[in-house]
Structure 1
Amino acid sequence: MERTTKENILKVNITTWNVRGIRKLAKLKQVLNRLKHFNSRIIFLQESHLTASEIHLLTKRWQGQVYFSSFTRHARGVITLIHKSIPFQTTRVITDPNGRYVIVQGRISMLEINLINIYAPNEDNPSFYENLFLTISTLEGLYIIGGDFNCALDPNLDRSSQTDTTHTQTRKILFNYMKDLRLNEVWRTRNPNNREFSCFSSSYQSHSRIDYFLISTELLPCVENCWYNSIVISDHAAVCLSVRLGEVDQGVKRWRMQTFLLKDPSFVKFIETCIDQYFQINKDETTASIRWEAFKAYIRGEIISYSSNK
């Protein structure tokens, strides 16, 4: 267990926005001006439609760090922007070759944090989230996950039609991992019975709330506000989150095994081998209680090692 104290308070405005393409310079400038109006310092953009060779259109207009995952000039693409005023020290970046997500792991002062920008498939695709969350679960630190999830968590409240039978498996996977990783959907937590929409579909003439933030439970007390802006420039609204990152008090950090690992056959086999080896070596020389306490420390270390190397 580790004990930490509160760090200097750092209030940050974070915005996630599906911009539906920013290859045209006029639209890129519109988007950046609106983000400036929001005073956004950490930004998750989806559907940039910028290729690796075109990302300079944005980098030369942004003062700070830029991380991206591209696909084609007409589809997908995610970009994470971190303003130079944010003392974020990047330690690792994971990008999706299909332009669906970018994960930026780093540190603000003593706070380890993972910034995860998602543009999920439109169809019911639980395997996308399975693979993504298996990667996310190996990362140390707290989570701020934002983006276009393409899935309304509560169809009764989050869709104008109040029906959605097309994303049942995706929704189930999302709820399972939210529970395992102790993630909270910020806006709904603060607005349990309200209705708000983030996307308008001209094809179906319907509204839905499929853009949102999932954050670690430890960050919830640090949230000042979370709100949806008007649907302009794109057919999605920008979602803003105001959070005091430097005020996080992680207190006593207790290790908690991620239960989804038990569904991994290779993990189960690995643990069975570890258990057999431990009790072959540690037999009756000590009391049962001492062996048990030592075993818990040993198996915890083996699980952490397995997860970090997955």
Structure 2
Amino acid sequence: MQKNWKTSDKMATVGPHVSIITLNMNGLNSPIKRHRVAGWIKEQDPTICCPQKTPLSPKDKHRLKVKGWKTILQANNEQNKAGVAILISDKVDFKAKQIKKDKEGQNIMIKGTLHQDDITLINIYAPNTGAPKFVQKLLTELKGDINNNTIIVGDLNTPLTPMDRSSRQKINKEIIELNEKLDQMDLIDIYRTLHPKTAGYTFFSSTHGTFSRINHMLGNKASINKFKRVEIISSIFSDHNAMKLEIKYKNKAGKRPKM
């Protein structure tokens, strides 16, 4: 009996597994592609999936449907050119408190609780031109919503460091200013923080013949110990690679008293 209590006590201290995947889907108009995407999401089995470039109208929301992910939140514009979404697995205890959607389909924010812990998720799809300024302006607008529990993901269309480009090209003034803004808001590039010397890429430009990491996951400095692992995952249905973040949460269930 004592052995069972010790095992139960140990299990009570283990936090729930939470993983977030972000990927530029590069369109979902083809039924075959939607089928592949759904299969890929099931295979990766994330807690939360944050796709970009999902140009679907609200009436086409069902096209994003994946078995096991009933909660689907999306933001799209009338021209169906951009589009972002957040899918949350049925396996987790998530309760939404607040949702903010961009009318242009460039970003979506959701505040809520995940396993009784507060969490704020922001999914961004930055335009191809003027991306650093766009992201900086958006962060300024959302400053009041960003806190220690915020995770920002998406296609920022911006390499944040020279290591994020295969050409090792120096970053320009706009990117320097964006990095300064991230630092002011205590936000870190989770991949670069956990892989300071690894040149991982998420996008290949056939025009320039270069690789870059323009897809990012940002978090608060105070939450660095929560970020267990972050990796780049290849995909066969997009010209972007995905990023996957694993987070560890402390289990709030009380421990059994020791006998």
TM range (shorter): 0.7 to 0.9
Q: Is the 8 A contact 1:87 1:108 kept in 2?
A: yes
**Offset, 1:135:** 3.2
Q: Residues 219-245 of structure 1, C-alpha deviation per residue, up to 9 Å, x if partnerless?
A: 211222110012421000010001113
- Residue 168 (structure 1) aligned with residue 173 (structure 2): yes
Q: Residues 196-233 of structure 1, C-alpha deviation per residue, up to 9 Å, x if partnerless?
A: 11001222222110111001123211222110012421
**Residues in 1 aligned to 2:80 and 2:146: alpha-carbon distance in whole angstroms:** 34
1:27 — aligned with what? Answer: 33
**Residues in 2 aligned to 1:197 and 1:139: alpha-carbon distance in whole angstroms:** 29
* Distance change >3 Å, CA 153–CA 14, structure 1 → 2: same
Q: Which of the residues 155, 159, 165 maps onto 1:152?
A: 159
Equivalent position amino acid for 2:17 in 1: K
Q: Is the 8 A contact 2:57 2:80 kept in 1?
A: no
User: Secondary structure of 2:144's match?
Assistant: coil
* Distance change >3 Å, CA 246–CA 73, structure 1 → 2: farther
**Residues in 1 aligned to 2:127 and 2:13: alpha-carbon distance in whole angstroms:** 38
Q: Is the 8 A contact 2:124 2:152 kept in 1?
A: yes
* Distance change >3 Å, CA 71–CA 96, structure 1 → 2: same
**Offset, 1:109:** 4.2
Q: Residues 229-272 of structure 1, C-alpha deviation per residue, up to 9 Å, x if partnerless?
A: 12421000010001113469xxxxxxxxxxxxxxxxxxxxxxxx
Task: Give the root-mean-square deviation of aligned CA atoms.
Answer: 2.3
Q: Residues 45-84 of structure 1, C-alpha deviation per residue, up to 9 Å, x if partnerless?
A: 0001112121121236453211111125652100111111
* Distance change >3 Å, CA 73–CA 25, structure 1 → 2: farther
> In proportion to residue count, which structure has more helix?
1
Q: Which of the residues 211, 222, 227 maps onto 1:223?
A: 227
Q: Is the 8 A contact 1:67 1:80 kept in 2?
A: yes
2:106 — aligned with what? Answer: 100
Q: Which of the residues 138, 144, 150 maps onto 1:143?
A: 150
**Residues in 2 aligned to 1:92 and 1:243: alpha-carbon distance in whole angstroms:** 22
Q: Which of the residues 20, 23, 29 maps onto 1:14?
A: 20
1:239 — aligned with what? Answer: 243
Q: Is the 8 A contact 2:132 2:158 kept in 1?
A: no
1:190 — aligned with what? Answer: 194
Unaligned runs of 5+ in 2: 1-11, 253-259
Q: Is the 8 A contact 1:50 1:72 kept in 2?
A: no
1:46 — aligned with what? Answer: 52
* Percent of aligned pairs sharing the same letter: 26
**Residues in 2 aligned to 1:202 and 1:72: alpha-carbon distance in whole angstroms:** 29
**Residues in 2 aligned to 1:144 and 1:123: alpha-carbon distance in whole angstroms:** 24
Larger radius of gyration: 1
User: Secondary structure of 2:34's match?
Assistant: helix
Q: Which of the residues 59, 69, 74 maps onto 1:63?
A: 69
* TM-score, normalised relative to structure 2: 0.85
* Distance change >3 Å, CA 127–CA 247, structure 1 → 2: farther
* Distance change >3 Å, CA 125–CA 20, structure 1 → 2: closer
Equivalent position amino acid for 1:124 in 2: G
**Residues in 2 aligned to 1:95 and 1:7: alpha-carbon distance in whole angstroms:** 36
Equivalent position amino acid for 2:173 in 1: T
Q: Residues 167-198 of structure 1, C-alpha deviation per residue, up to 9 Å, x if partnerless?
A: 531x2342123212211111111111111110
